[in-house]
């Protein structure tokens, strides 16, 4: 028996935790784990881990490949999240940077990191059990089957906690961010599994900040602004790149070229000065150069969370702030989140 790993079921964003009474069959709320989406297939002989983008993740997490057969009592296909936790006992939290380090081409490096920063798998759906495919079953039944399967499970395999109470979900949204979680997911209890469809609801933290425009990259089409790089001043007054703004319309991309032209830094010959953007294991050989701007223009952006000294995801443009001095755009304006022990989320 060999499972075919489907595209994962997805979620659409909402501004607030939904009212479960508005769903015909009710809803189940779960914490939204900030990691790599993973579908684990255990056929009784081998373990395969697929990703949201259909990229095989099996080779990057040998500790999970080794542990899963020892924990599961039957062949199955699980949907969940791969996460890495760091910190001292009593103050652990999810660590995106440590998790992203795990995607490395060298097998020796992968083996070392599997010992230094071992991963966990947080299961939240069951798509197959033995020879029985469960995608057409309502989520309520899949969840009940999952609870039965993982009742004896132990670290590094965990069953995500759930609640049907909206007030509890609202509290989780506020508290669990301190452990590095990303928000809340609401799942209709009467729906089948829909690969690739956005039939779930996610609620993430949303905040705003005033940032400085540092430069822009040309759109992949070769015309217009593809993304705008932004920065903040640290405690020493150094302006640091913290992320980027994208998702402009075709028309807006062209308009921005003209709007930002007066700010473009130029050399003695009048040519635009370019800078080299930060690279990661995800950019590979991709061109990360950008056109540098004089750091004078301020914009307000919406963001969900900070990871280290950078925004965790691409931020959204809100408005220009001509009333703000670029020097006033500092890290001090960002909201500080109270710590919350990851073990209490896993409990």
Q: Which two tokens stand for residue 155?
A: 């670290």
First to last CA, the chain: 34
The DSSP code for 190 is T
Backbone angles phi, psi at 217, to 5 degrees: -105, 145
Q: Is 293 in contact with 262 (CB distance < 8 Å)?
A: no
d(CA 186, CA 283): 32
Q: Which residue has the tokens 């299961």?
A: 123
Strand order in the sheet with 198-204: 10-13, 198-204, 183-188, 27-32
263 to each of 224, 231, 268, 275, 298, how far by Cα in Å?
A: 15, 15, 15, 14, 12
Catalytic entry in 12, 32, 187, 197: 32
Could you tell me which of 327, 311, 56 has the C-alpha nearest to residue 208? 311
Q: Is 55 a catalytic residue?
A: no
Rounded Cα gap, residues 215 and 101, in angstroms: 27
Strand (E) or helix (H) holding 185: strand 183-188
Q: In sequence order, what E strands does 193-344 have?
A: 198-204, 207-218, 225-233, 239-245, 274-276, 289-292, 298-303, 306-307, 310-311, 316-320
Closest alpha carbon to 320 in 264, 265, 274, 252: 252
The residues assigned a catalytic role are 32
């Amino acid at each position: 028996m060999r499972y075919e790993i489907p595209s994962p079921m997805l979620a659409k964003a909402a501004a607030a935790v939904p009212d479960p009474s508005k769903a015909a069959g009710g809803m189940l709320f779960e914490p939204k784990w900030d990691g790599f989406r993973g579908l684990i297939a255990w056929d009784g002989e081998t373990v395969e881990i697929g990703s949201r983008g259909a990229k095989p993740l099996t080779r990057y997490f040998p500790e999970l490949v080794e542990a899963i057969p020892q924990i599961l009592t039957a062949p199955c296909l699980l949907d969940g999240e791969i996460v890495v936790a760091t910190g001292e006992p009593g103050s652990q939290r999810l660590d995106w940077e440590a998790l992203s380090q795990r995607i490395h081409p060298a097998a020796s490096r992968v083996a070392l990191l599997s010992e230094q920063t071992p991963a966990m798998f947080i299961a939240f759906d069951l798509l197959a059990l033995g020879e029985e495919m469960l995608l057409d079953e309502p989520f309520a039944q899949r969840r009940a089957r999952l609870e039965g399967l993982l009742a004896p499970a132990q670290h590094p395999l965990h069953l995500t906690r759930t609640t049907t109470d909206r007030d509890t979900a609202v509290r989780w949204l506020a508290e669990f961010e301190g452990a590095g979680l990303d928000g809340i997911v609401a799942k209709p209890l009467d729906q089948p599994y829909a690969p690739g469809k956005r039939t779930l609801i996610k609620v993430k933290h949303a905040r705003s900040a005033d940032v400085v425009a540092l430069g822009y990259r040309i759109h992949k089409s070769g015309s217009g602004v593809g993304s705008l790089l932004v920065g903040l001043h640290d405690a020493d007054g150094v302006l640091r790149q913290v992320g980027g703004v994208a998702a402009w319309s075709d028309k807006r991309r062209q308009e921005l070229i003209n709007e930002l032209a007066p700010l473009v830094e130029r050399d003695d010959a009048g040519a635009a000065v370019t800078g080299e953007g930060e690279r990661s294991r995800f950019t590979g050989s991709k061109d990360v150069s950008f056109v540098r701007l004089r750091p004078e223009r301020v914009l307000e952006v919406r963001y969900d969370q900070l990871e280290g000294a950078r925004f965790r995801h691409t931020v959204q443009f809100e408005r220009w702030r001509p009333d703000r001095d670029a020097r006033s755009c500092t890290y001090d304006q960002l909201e500080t989140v109270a710590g919350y022990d990851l073990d209490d989320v896993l409990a």
